[in-house]
């Protein structure tokens, strides 16, 4: 990762609430940053950060609120009626309404244990009522990950087919081609679908409607390969996750500046 890519990572994570799903991305990502940092002498991916916590590497609670949970799930607004809620929409309100943050990034990653389990829940034996009563994680995933799983299963393993998602408003749509080069395992493909589904879920909240309609609030998706340290940005123009590297840097940055600044 060269200096310009380092600056790119810093640029797209500035003033954003980050919703990562796991801490264990930290060591591998930082290892790759340090490895490349040695090649560029005094330049580091994220300077002056000593914490091993990935969430603090990219953002801190003092700078931006952030939410982390199993499966990086943002429950759809339909799950909350009357006064019942959870920390995820509360975090969105704190960051986007009270703190006036302009960008939200949902972060997924490879070998996500929650996504591995979600894939198994396609079996009725794994997702029945008895199993959900025994396992809080299965109950959580069945409640809030089912839309991702259904959308994933709809393509019937043909990932040359586009998958349709709602964007900032129900009228705005985008399509995604998931891992067209077939680099990742089936569970990682599900993880990428799930990451994009959360953008649709975020946009379902009425409190964000005006800002999203006015393009005053933007939603993005990042995905990490924890074994290589590679970072992928979902490009709506390319309709796929693009690895952030020297070849894609200018293209992705131009898209962000044109549509999200």
DSSP conformation class of 51: -
Q: What are phi and psi of 38, to 5 degrees?
A: -65, -30
3-state secondary structure of 36: helix
Q: How many CB atoms lie within 10 A of CB 136?
A: 10
Pairing of strands 218-224, 173-176: unpaired
Helix ranges restricted to H, 81-160: 87-92, 113-120, 124-127, 129-134, 136-144, 146-154
Is 96 annotated to bind a ligand? Reply is no
Would you put residue 2 in left (φ > 0), alpha (ψ -120 to 50) or beta?
Answer: beta
The answer to the question of whether 109 is labelled as a binding residue is yes
d(CA 80, CA 148): 18
Burial bucket for residue 83 (CB in 10 Å: 0-12, 13-18, 19+): exposed
What three-state secondary structure class fits 32?
A: helix
Q: Which two tokens stand for residue 116?
A: 């591995």
**How big is the CA angle at 54 (ends 226 and 39), to the nearest 5 degrees?**
70
User: Residue ranges for the binding site for Zn(2+)?
Assistant: 109, 112
User: Residue ranges for the binding site?
Assistant: 109, 112
């Amino acid at each position: 990762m060269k200096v310009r890519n380092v600056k790119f990572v810093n640029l797209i994570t500035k003033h954003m609430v980050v919703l990562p799903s796991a801490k264990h991305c930290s060591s591998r990502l930082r290892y790759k940053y340090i490895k490349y940092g040695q090649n560029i002498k005094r330049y580091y991916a994220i300077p002056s950060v000593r914490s091993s916590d990935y969430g603090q590497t990219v953002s801190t609670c003092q700078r931006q609120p952030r939410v982390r949970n199993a499966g990086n799930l943002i429950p759809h607004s339909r799950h909350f009626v009357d006064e019942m809620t959870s920390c995820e929409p509360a975090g969105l309100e704190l960051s986007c309404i009270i703190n006036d943050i302009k960008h939200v990034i949902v972060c997924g990653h490879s070998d996500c244990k929650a996504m591995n389990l979600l894939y198994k829940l396609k079996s009725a034996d794994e997702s029945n009522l008895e199993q959900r009563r025994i396992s809080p994680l299965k109950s959580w995933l069945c409640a809030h990950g089912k839309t991702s799983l259904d959308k994933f299963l709809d393509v019937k393993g043909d990932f040359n087919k586009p998958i349709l998602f709602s964007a900032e408003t129900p009228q705005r749509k985008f399509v995604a081609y998931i891992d067209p080069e077939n680099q990742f395992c089936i569970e990682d493909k599900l993880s990428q679908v799930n990451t994009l589904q959360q953008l649709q879920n975020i946009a379902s909240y009425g409190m964000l409607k005006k800002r999203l309609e006015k393009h005053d609030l933007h939603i993005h998706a990042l995905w990490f390969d924890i074994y290589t340290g590679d970072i992928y940005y979902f490009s709506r123009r390319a309709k796929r996750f693009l690895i952030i590297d020297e070849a894609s840097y200018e293209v992705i940055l131009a898209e962000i500046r044109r549509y999200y600044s």
